[in-house]
Amino acid sequence: MKYSCECILVVLLWCSLSVGAATTTIHVAPNGNDGWSGALAAPNAGGTDGPKATMAGAREGVRARDKDSPGARVLIQQGEYFITEAITFGPEDGGTAGAPIVYEAAPGAEVVIHGGRRIEGWRSEGKFWVADIPEVASGDWRFSQLWVNGVRCTPARTPNGKNGAGDFPEGDELFYAAGPVMEKKADGDEATRSATAFRYRDGDLQDWDSLEEAIVVVYHSWETALMRPKAIDTEKQTIAFTGGTNWGFGRWRADQRYHIEHLFEGMDQPGEWFLNRQEGRLYYLPREGEDMTKANVVAPVAKQLLRIEGDPKAASFVEYLHFKGLKFHYTEFTVKPEGHSDSQAAHSVPAAVEAVGARDVVFEDCEVGHVGGYGLWFRSGSQDNKLLRSEIHDLGAGGVRIGEGGSPATAAEAVEGNVVDNCFIHDGGRVFRGGVGVWIGRSSYNRLSYNEICDFRYTGISVGWSWGYADTTAHHNIIEYNRVHHIALGQLSDTGGIYCLGDSPGTVIRNNVFHDVISNARVSGGWGIYFDEGSTGILAENNLVYNTRTGSLHQHYGKDNRVINNILAFSHNGQLVRSREEAHNSFFVQRNIVYFNNNQLLGSTWRNGNFQLDSNIYWSTAREVAESGGLDFSGRSLAEWQAEGHDRFSIVADPLFENAEAGDFRLKADSPAFRLGFEPFDYTRAGLYGDAEWVQKPRKITRPAFSPPPVAAPRRIAEDFEALPLDTTAPGAHSNEEGAGTVRVSDAVASSGKQSLKFSDAPGLKVSYNPHMYYVPALRYGTARGSFAIRFGEGAEFYHEWRDNRSPYQTGPSIWYRDGALTANGERIGEVPADTWVTISIACALGKEGDGTYDLTVTIPGEEPVERAGLSCGSPDFRSLDWFGFVSNSTEAVAVYVDDVHIATD
């Protein structure tokens, strides 16, 4: 069992305070009366006295108690206590260190502070069950969430989520926009992507009768926007919204992802519901086994459930309040008429339980669930508070927030010294997918320990809220012994098991387990430990990280972070990622074990040498490592890498785990890692502690057993663009567009069939290499063969190129068309007439078979093929194909068409 000395001290302190200090006892029961004294646990025989009826009534009783009785204990009996607005506590409601004010469930009682309302009177109408709600028809009540028998229901939507569950893990269907609407300002500036409209694909949207009620959920990289439709133009195939999104449409990909919910016409799956506000009618499609004549159907009324309202600016605080054994259920958060769009982390969404100016407030053995926003938030001026052994779940946004987005103006307004320990925080982002499991803003000296955090659509833990190197008030935060997993769920990107920002001296990330961080592969990355913009002075030690989308460790940019004695395993792509070159040292990465099953060790950029890697042990089980001549250190062998001064004492060797492929990362006694100074740590201590029922609660969620990421077979691409909607980008490729410079499917001409890919260049673009498009074949050995048909417009300047993933990248074949002639790495091939289809075929050996040369065949209809053997690659060291690109380099309006793209290896 896992107990820290500090945790035991917290429990002992709680026991001593809650038992010894409270001298006034006030009872609360569902059959009570706020006019009674609360001195009795049940009504007396004459019905003249008994318990209070509500927590608010008990609060008034505490205020009115004998002042010679400094403490108070409020015992709440079994039952549901319905409220329509938050219960509030002010400075006058607090206690002292020796005599706290305690609100707790009576022994054995299940106490629910209930912010919802039951909906009854259901009747069957065809395939639907329907209930009339007069308060909705009158405009007095509006809700956007629904629960049946305690299970969150799905707003009627299209397309449907996986198994009707209302989610879209990777592989599920979504709509994809045809592209952004380009808007030009009146002053004639360059057209920009609209933030209030986009173009949709043929057949996706209609002018449905209920569209005015609907919400369009738009998936950006690390956030979603919830947009309310304003108008739809079925001829131009555009949809406009009542407000804008922070990120515009198509910033990361032109084919913007989205789905529509609260749409009556999309109601076709069990568990879906729709509220017709004009009629005041609620429609529902029952799930299997639900009897609507008996079902407990709840819609939320209250926006929040409990508020602690101090005044930090006036140094007026709410102190020594304790809440124990209470459940806080059901809140509403309605999207405004202008829609909802946050920049990150669902930052503007409130919490069901909020504290401002709270000091030494404790929540223990509590539950916050079935809510529309965040669960709990320690806000401005909140210090030395504790959230202990509590469950925070079924969340519209995230779990717990500590601090504000800006630095405090005074010491009294600082948020610091708070503890979240031994809590189960899970199943968030159900409405606002950018919600974070635990978010620490500009707040310091906090501790997150022994928590289980899982099933969030964005990030598990976020620490810091400052971009760049400016001084900040987020430092000395301790993140230890947490188990954080199943993050992003294939929905959002640029995410981490833990995500850090800004200058953070004294912040420590230790003895945690981060796994299954699976971002959306079409957009951006998902990392175990993510040092984002300006992360500085952070120590990450003794962590186990495995099964991430794009890296166990990623530093966007930062300074002097230390990554020491970690196990970093099984990233699907690069294992260690460094995204920006800077003049100072990026980080120290030392005494780590890096274990994987591909040949992608170092991701992004490792050119300038301003990083310290040493005494690490690297091992890949991939066949391609042997086939390609050894582990790839950013395009170098280990010997070459070491000759540059990196990893001088590191080795490439099997670390001898007990069974890493089955998730057992214990080291055998004869592991070579010990010779490098690696210190073993017990990663099984991470997560919840206490009684068996509590510890096993997360294990009741059924999940597939761990298995390493599939070993990617050499990628084969065969694309003729025939099955694709017109005016869309190529699937499986990265398309970079700018203004009128686009890469879209067209039916203007084709080499075969009726469609091809059209590159439309334009004058006045910021960079000459836009528009461009590329595939990422990730071919490491064998002979790569690529071919395509191409049709150059008059005056075009265009090139096709192969590149590897080094920093800087090395080029292989490079075929250019300019001034009507074709060249191959500078060697003239011959003239090619404009507006004529030409087939280009390339063969290039990779890996240890490669010699820095390739063969080329150019075929023009009606002419003999032109063949060139042994052409020199751009770099004699070119050995892997990671970038297969097409670039329109013109500066005028010109079109080039590409068709029948094929990539394979022998």
**Cβ atoms < 10 Å from Cβ of 66:** 9
Q: Is the dihedral of CA 830, 831, 834, 838 positive or negative?
A: negative
Average pLDDT estimate for 144-167: 83
pLDDT digits (tens, 9 = 90+) for 372-381: 999 999 999 9
Q: How many residues does the chain have?
A: 906
From CA 847, how far away is CA 824, in angstroms rounded? 22
CB atoms within 10 A of CB 176: 20
Given a cut of 70, is residue 551 above it in pLDDT? yes
Instruction: Kindly state the tokens that stand for 290.
Output: 């639900």
Q: In the predicted model, is pLDDT for residue 465 greater than 50?
A: yes
Distances (CA, A) of 693 to 392, 408, 444, 512, 688: 17, 41, 33, 22, 11
The distance between the two most distant Cα atoms of the chain, rounded to a whole number of Å, is: 110
**Cα–Cα distance for residue pair 355/311, rounded to 1 Å:** 11
Other CB atoms within 10 Å distance of the CB of residue 127: 10
- In the predicted structure, residue 426 carries a pLDDT above the cut 90: yes
Token reading at 547: 């099964």
Model confidence at 4: pLDDT above 80: no
What does the pLDDT average to over 381-400? 98
* Whole-angstrom distance, CA of residue 715 vs CA of residue 552: 23
pLDDT value of residue 382: 98
pLDDT of the residue at 164: 40
d(CA 749, CA 837): 10
Please list the helix, strand and coil fractions of the chain in percent, rounded to the nearest 5, in that order.
Answer: 10, 40, 50
Q: Looking at residue 186, what is its pLDDT? A: 60
Separation of alpha carbons 543 and 540, rounded Å: 7
In angstroms, rounded to a whole number, what is the distance separating the alpha carbons of residues 170 and 183?
32
pLDDT digits (tens, 9 = 90+) for 63-79: 999 877 889 999 999 99
pLDDT, one tens digit per residue, over 113-146 is 999 999 999 999 999 999 999 999 999 999 999 9
Residue 585 has pLDDT above 70, yes or no: yes
Residue 288 has what DSSP assignment? T
Q: What is the mean pLDDT of the chain?
A: 93
DSSP state of 134: H
Amino acid 9: pLDDT: 43
Mean pLDDT of 809-814: 94
pLDDT at residue 828 is higher than 60: yes
If you write DSSP's letter for every residue of 647-677 in order, what string do you get? STT-EE----EEEGGGTEEEEPTT-GGGGGT
Are 498 and 514 contacting, i.e. CB atoms less than 8 angstroms apart? yes
What amino acid is encoded at 600 in this protein?
A: Q
Q: Give one DSSP letter per residue of 727-766, joined into a string.
A: T-PPTTSEEE-BTTBEEEEESS--SSSS-EEEEEE-TT-S
Beta strands in 77-164 (DSSP E): 79-82, 87-89, 101-105, 111-114, 116-118, 123-125, 128-132, 147-148, 151-152, 154-155, 157-158
At residue 877, the pLDDT reads 87
What would the pLDDT profile of 675-733 be if each residue is shown by its tens digit?
A: 999 999 999 999 999 999 999 999 999 998 899 988 766 678 999 999 998 888 888 89
pLDDT for position 23: 73
Given a cut of 90, is residue 807 above it in pLDDT? no
Q: What is the pLDDT of residue 868?
A: 97
pLDDT for the residue numbered 405: 97
What pLDDT score does 248 carry? 87
Least confident stretch, 63-67, 357-361, 586-590, 856-860: 63-67
| Dist. CA 905–CA 843, nearest whole Å | 9
**Full-model pTM:** 0.90
Under the banding of pLDDT at 50, 70 and 90, the label for residue 629 is: confident
Over 80: is that where the pLDDT of 627 sits? no
